[in-house]
Structure 1
Amino acid sequence: MNRALRALIVIDVQESFRVRPLWAQTLNPGVAEPVNRLVSLARAAGDLVVWVLHTEPGSGTPFDPESGHVRLLEELNEPLPGEPVLRKTSHNAFTTTNLQQILTTHGVTELRVCGIRAEQCVETTTRVGSDLGYDMTFVGDATSTDPLGPFSAADILERTEAVLRDRFARIATVAELEAEAGRTPGAAAEVAASAT
């Protein structure tokens, strides 16, 4: 088994959100593009990629597996063999899955997180991961959310980054991570696209 010190956790980037009326107001309807760039960057570095889907069995909602919508957005890169696809029923990606066991088996100590519902599942996973001792990076521009009450989606993302910054996680952009890896921003996604 390959050991990776770092993992990318892609949280709830799934069709369940796109079929809801709120999708028209989502902060980043093109979230699949920056997520694909992160996935390509992770694969090029030999990092583990873990895909997480939120499920609510028996709810009759788009998150009910019976709805047929609990699947990755069609624009996303397909998971490769060996990349776990987990299904959770809690807000964070740890409590109702074997994520921590997978990370321990792979020797992972650092996590990058992105996904849908910045202030809910992505933030909660970031906080739990930090409490478990992982070095966390929250990638804001590969994350989306919806308006909530009087707050715009952009306000919610800004607030989420503010409360996580330097307490629970480093805040980074996809371009910053690409630059750190010595890649031109967007180059990882271009290489992946040309390989398909």
Structure 2
Amino acid sequence: MPHPLPALIVVDVQRAFDEWEAAGQRRNNPDAVARIVDLLAAFRASGAPIFHIRHEGTKPSSTFRPERTGYAVKDEAREQGGEPVIVKRVNSAFIGTDLETRLRASNIATLVICGATTNHCVETTTRMAGNLGFDAQLVRDATWTFDRVGPDGEAHSAEDIHTITLSNLNGEFARIVTAGEVIASLAALRQ
């Protein structure tokens, strides 16, 4: 029998992204971490499962290497007692980890995914969640990304990348939702 509540998957809410911003990289969705805090509070109040994902960089230059300050989780999104932390070394939280095993063991069918960045680890984790048969919900206002330059040298805004990523995932891999919708749905499940 499926678990009655969804699980919250919090992807890579780490200080490295603050360091990128401090170095001049521009991001979208400045309120994303506040929405993640809202989701964490709602899931904790509901007793719903929460899984924290951390990225561990392997390249010498990575700001996500465990010995660097960027590896640490942002204080606002820090795990609390009993909430597992799963460390990954690639984009997907399902590769090289026991995340799928843990979810299946608890009969969790629905995943609410948030974190950073929209078009990298969040997208890859969401695609795999959908491919693995989970009911994946990606929280559009609880994720963010950065401006990027494409292979042709053309600049792409974080807003455009975010929107296109959500469009690519919508329907086939996940439902695109807001934090408010998820919180209202959790409240309805508790009644």
TM over 0.5: yes
1:187 aligns with none
Distance 2:60 2:163 in 1: 31
Seq. identity, %: 34
RMSD over aligned Cα atoms: 1.8
* Residue 53 (str. 1) matches residue 54 (str. 2): yes
Tell me what 1:177 maps to: 182
Question: Are residues 114 and 12 of structure 1, via their aligned partners in 2, closer, same or farther at CA, if it must alter by over 3 Å?
Answer: same
The one-letter code of the counterpart of 2:124 is T
Is the 8 Å Cα contact of residues 5 and 106 (structure 1) preserved in structure 2?
Answer: no
| Counterpart residue identity of residue 121, structure 2 | C
TM-score, normalised by the number of residues in structure 2: 0.87
Comparing 63-72 with 166-175, greater Cα deviation is found at: 63-72
The 1:128–1:53 alpha-carbon spacing in structure 2 relative to 1, beyond 3 Å, is: same
Q: Are 2:142 and 1:142 aligned?
A: yes
SS where residue 108 of structure 1 aligns?
A: coil
Unaligned runs of 5+ in 2: 150-154
Number of residue-to-residue matches in the alignment:
180
1:112-171 CA distance string (max 9 Å, x none) = 001111011101100101111100000010001001122111111110111111111110
Q: What's the CA shift for 1:4?
A: 6.1
- Cα distance in 2 for partners of 1:181, 1:72 equals 25
Amino acid at match of 2:185: E
CA distance in 1, matches of 2:143, 2:187: 23
In the TM superposition, residue 19 of structure 1 has moved relative to its aligned partner by 1.0
Number of the residue aligned with 2:158: 153
**Which one-letter code corresponds to 1:37 in the other structure?**
D
Post-superposition shift, 1:6? 1.8
Q: Is the 8 A contact 1:23 1:29 kept in 2?
A: no
Structure 1 residue 105, shift from structure 2 partner: 1.9
For residue 85 of structure 1, report the CA deviation from its aligned partner: 0.7
For 2:152, the equivalent position in structure 1 comes to none
- Aligned equivalents of 1:45, 1:157: Cα separation in 2: 29
Q: Could you say if the C-alpha distance between residues 56 and 166 of structure 1 is closer, same or farther in structure 2, counting changes exceeding 3 Å?
A: same
Relative to structure 2, which stretch is displaced further, 53-62 or 82-91? 53-62
